[in-house]
Amino acid sequence: MNAALRSFEAQWRARPADALQPIREQAMQRFLKLGLPTSSDETWRYTDLRSLAAQSFQAAAGEIRGTLDPNAALSLVDGTQRAATMIMINGAAPADADNTRIHGFTISSIKSLSKLDHGALLRFFPPVSDADQRRWVLLNTALFDDGLYLKITERVTVPLVILHVSSGAGAQEAAHPRIIIDAAPGSSATIIEHHVTHGEFAPLSNSNTHIALGQDAQLEHYRVYATSAGATHLDALEIHQARGSQCKQFTIALGGGLVRSSLDVYLNQSGASLESHALLVGHGDRHVDCVNIVTHAAPDTRSRQTARAIAGDTSRVIFNSKVIVKAGAVHSDSQQSCRGLLLSPSAEIDTRPQLEIHADEVKCAHGATVGRLDPDMLFYLLSRGLDRETAQSLLVYAFLADVLTGMSVTSARSAIESALIGQLPDSQTLRNFK
Amino acid sequence: MLQISDLSARVAGKDILTGVNLTVQPGEVHAIMGPNGSGKSTLAQVLAGREDYEVTRGSVIFEGRDLLAMRAEERARAGLFLGFQYPVEIPGVNNVYLLKAALNAKRKAAGEPEVDAYEFLVLIRQKMKFMQMSESFLTRGVNEGFSGGEKKRNEILQMLVLEPKLAILDETDSGLDIDALKVVSMGVNSLRDPKRAVVLVTHYQRLLDYVIPDQVHVLSGGRIVKSGDKSLAHELERRGYDWVLGAQVA
């Protein structure tokens, strides 16, 4: 057993039992048995966790040192245009979560819900398969202290922001934020999860979000990784979709040192549809590993996955996606498009779209390309007098524009654009373009 | 304005230009004609500063400066413009942003202030009207989804906004119907003045009925094998390139 595993086990033993104990116990035993994923696990081939495995982790406290500077975080949504901002510090739900009243939402901490309606809560802890993708979710289930439960009850137009703050008192701490989003049939909302760091130390963040969309529910969901350069973030998102529900998901990686992001979508009933967009920016020596698995489990389901990855300096970006069409899921319609752009000779992008089809009469398309800036486009811009850096940045920006233009929250889009431009060469000139 | 001496260039290890000599004076329009594969487009690209084209010999002086020592963007800012044979589509980069950036890059190099946003819009609308282009060009990506003719009009629009000292137009007439050809020719003619020069690279003499050249040159095997006045173009049209090439052998 490695140091990390031992330290997680020690945390587990020190933990007082609560209403979720049987589920937690089961998850912890599975986690200990399986151990941390290694490069021999299929979806972890590109991400080396050996140095992480050698560390001992303490539980991060649900509070920060000093005061949180609201301007330190990239402000994604204008104050007048959001329903609320829920601040989660190292995974701890806000103290007043249970008393928060926001039109169209019912909000509580997961602890309160487990006391109130334990049966309802169990729905959001489905049995975890052996897939190596889910290893860290087991640990999250065992160790999450408290999380946030959000029920969407109406059609809400203004976005709700969840600001995840990672803030450690020292090195080698770990937090396990947990969010449950439960969209009632026919409801509609936009939720932005924004991950940032506060202070010198960023705990290992092992976050998990579980989304259940009821019949005909609509959700636009963002997760924006904007943590500091040294931060390690393992984030898992699971979405279960009922009949006719529509989900538009954006995964934006703009920060962090090591980011592992997974998306598991289950299109469980006919008419369910998913649009997933990933914008992955490799900068400095950042490592971004993104894995999507979309399961078409019912007839007439639809999925669209678009990923745009750029990698500069000595960064590495990985995007793997897989579409599984289960037996009987006839007339499933899926498309996967992954494009990567290398900006430096020392950067690397790996992408692999996969299909696993067990049904007839399906429409599944996929494509993946990785390349450098098109020399014809570059020469065209240079021949018009633009300097090289501006021309390159402009082309990079244009490459990512597909994903950006799909965002309906315009303030979030501008903030993301601005943060993105800040990571491109010659950002000042490019800003003047906007 | 432009003195090309013994210019030789190689593309992907293959010698394409083998000693081009050409002098263009201010106020002149020169036409460079020649069969396919004669090196016309290579000459245009080498003059504009395409890096993967290797110059192996010779010199080019533009306005008293060593053109070959300048990078592509410096050449553009110094007043050289290449109208592309195949203008590239750049989705996501707005057509007008590019024009504004190009104009400002040139102004900055000349020590002038950036163009005022309102004045720029007035200018661009006026030039677009002149080129008979629809308003949608303002919002679209660079050449994105443009027809062949629209792309060529867009090249001329850029030229009119940038007002280069020397415009090299590479097969700007190819793929144009007669109406588009007239509009493009009108654009080129509007730029003619005693301080500027135009080099038209073309396969056919059709364009030369509308933009009357001062000199016509025939490029073959990577060098200029015959030069004359506008009547040379007509003669070529009538007798074909074999006539010149045959004469060359004799």
Out of A383, A401, A402, whose CB is closest to B48?
A383
CA–CA separation, B74 and B68 (whole Å): 11
Task: Verify whether the Cβ–Cβ distance B76 to A399 is below 8 Å.
Answer: no
Q: Tell me if chain A has a CB within 8 Å of the CB of B110.
A: no
CA–CA separation, A395 and A397 (whole Å): 5
Q: How many residue pairs bridge chain A and chain B with CB atoms within 8 Å of each other?
A: 76
Q: Tell me if chain B has a CB within 8 Å of the CB of A375.
A: yes
- SS3 assignment for chain A: CCHHHHHHHHHHHHCCCCCCHHHHHHHHHHHHHHCCCCCCCHHHCCCCCHHHHCCCCEECCCCCCCCCCCCCCCCCCCHHHCCEEEEEECCECCCCHHHCEECCEEEEEHHHHHHHCHHHHHCCCCCCCCCHHHHHHHHHHHHCCCCEEEEECCECCCCEEEEEEECECCCCEEECCEEEEEECCCCEEEEEEEEEECCCECCEEEEEEEEEECCCCEEEEEEEECCCCCCEEEEEEEEEECCCCEEEEEEEECCCCEEEEEEEEEECCCCCEEEEEEEEEECCCCEEEEEEEEEECCCCCEEEEEEEEEECCCCEEEEEEEEEECCCCCCCEEEEEEEEEECCCCCEEEEEEEEEECCCCCEEEEEEEEECCCHHHHHHHHCCCCCHHHHHHHHHHHHHHHHHHCCCCHHHHHHHHHHHHCCCCCHHHHHHHC
Strand partners for A305? A276, A336
Task: Verify whether the Cβ–Cβ distance B92 to A380 is below 8 Å.
Answer: no
Q: How many angstroms away from the CA of B195 is the closest CA of chain A?
A: 20
Out of B82, B88, B101, whose CB is closest to A386?
B101
A contacts of B105 (beta carbons < 8 Å): 384-387
Q: Tell me if chain B has a CB within 8 Å of the CB of A382.
A: yes
pLDDT score at A434: 42
CA–CA separation, A109 and A271 (whole Å): 32
Out of B71, B90, B97, whose CB is closest to A380?
B90
Report residues of chain A scoring pLDDT below 50. 433-434
pLDDT score at A411: 83
For residue B106, the chain A residue with the least C-alpha distance is A385
Task: Verify whether the Cβ–Cβ distance B109 to A388 is below 8 Å.
Answer: no
What tens digit of pLDDT does each residue of B158-215 get?
A: 999 999 999 999 998 888 888 888 888 998 899 999 999 999 998 888 888 899 999 9
- Degrees, nearest 5: CA angle A407-A410-A413: 60
Q: Tell me if chain B has a CB within 8 Å of the CB of A374.
A: yes
Distant-in-sequence, close-in-space partners of A414: CB < 8 Å, separation ≥ 6: none
A contacts of B49 (beta carbons < 8 Å): 382-383
- Assigned token pair, A23: 């589920």
Q: How many angstroms away from the CA of B212 is the closest CA of chain A?
A: 26
The answer, yes or no, to whether residue B87 has pLDDT greater than 90, is yes
Q: Tell me if chain A has a CB within 8 Å of the CB of B51.
A: yes
The answer, yes or no, to whether residue B97 has pLDDT greater than 50, is yes
Question: Do residues B11 and B39 lie in contact, with contact meaning Cβ atoms separated by under 8 Å?
Answer: no
Strands B65-66, B53-62: pairing is: antiparallel
pLDDT score at A114: 86
What's domain B2-249's architecture?
A: 3-Layer(aba) Sandwich (3.40)
| Among A229-238, B13-22, B145-154, the least confident range | B145-154
B contacts of A400 (beta carbons < 8 Å): 92
Task: Verify whether the Cβ–Cβ distance B90 to A382 is below 8 Å.
Answer: no
First to last CA, chain A: 53
Q: How many angstroms away from the CA of B175 is the closest CA of chain A?
A: 20
Q: For the residues B140-145, what does the mean pLDDT come to?
A: 90
Out of A386, A388, A401, whose CB is closest to B102?
A386
Task: Verify whether the Cβ–Cβ distance A383 to B90 is below 8 Å.
Answer: no
A contacts of B48 (beta carbons < 8 Å): 379, 383
Task: Verify whether the Cβ–Cβ distance B92 to A398 is below 8 Å.
Answer: yes
Out of A375, A395, A433, whose CB is closest to B97?
A433
Report in angstroms the alpha-carbon separations of B214 from A304, B24, B34, B187, B200.
58, 10, 17, 18, 11
What is the separation of C-alpha A47 from the centre of its chain, rounded to a whole number of angstroms?
A: 16
pLDDT score at A426: 54
The answer, yes or no, to whether residue B250 has pLDDT greater than 50, is no
Strand partners for B5? B59
Question: Do residues A212 and A151 lie in contact, with contact meaning Cβ atoms separated by under 8 Å?
Answer: no
Out of B73, B82, B158, whose CB is closest to A387?
B73
What tens digit of pLDDT does each residue of A155-203 get?
A: 999 999 999 999 988 889 999 999 999 999 999 999 999 999 988 889 9
Q: Tell me if chain A has a CB within 8 Å of the CB of B73.
A: yes
Q: Tell me if chain A has a CB within 8 Å of the CB of B53.
A: no
Out of B76, B88, B93, whose CB is closest to A385?
B76
Out of B71, B91, B162, whose CB is closest to A398?
B91
Q: Tell me if chain A has a CB within 8 Å of the CB of B95.
A: no
pLDDT score at A132: 65
Q: How many angstroms away from the CA of B159 is the closest CA of chain A?
A: 9
What tens digit of pLDDT does each residue of B41-61 get?
A: 999 999 999 988 999 999 999
A contacts of B52 (beta carbons < 8 Å): 375
Q: Tell me if chain B has a CB within 8 Å of the CB of A434.
A: no
Q: For the residues B77-96, what does the mean pLDDT come to?
A: 92
pLDDT score at A200: 86
Out of A383, A400, A433, whose CB is closest to B82?
A383
Distant-in-sequence, close-in-space partners of A428: CB < 8 Å, separation ≥ 6: none
CA–CA separation, B30 and B45 (whole Å): 17
Tally the C-alpha atoms within 13 A of residue A398's C-alpha that lie toward its C-beta: 25
Task: Verify whether the Cβ–Cβ distance A382 to B162 is below 8 Å.
Answer: no
Task: Verify whether the Cβ–Cβ distance A394 to B106 is below 8 Å.
Answer: no
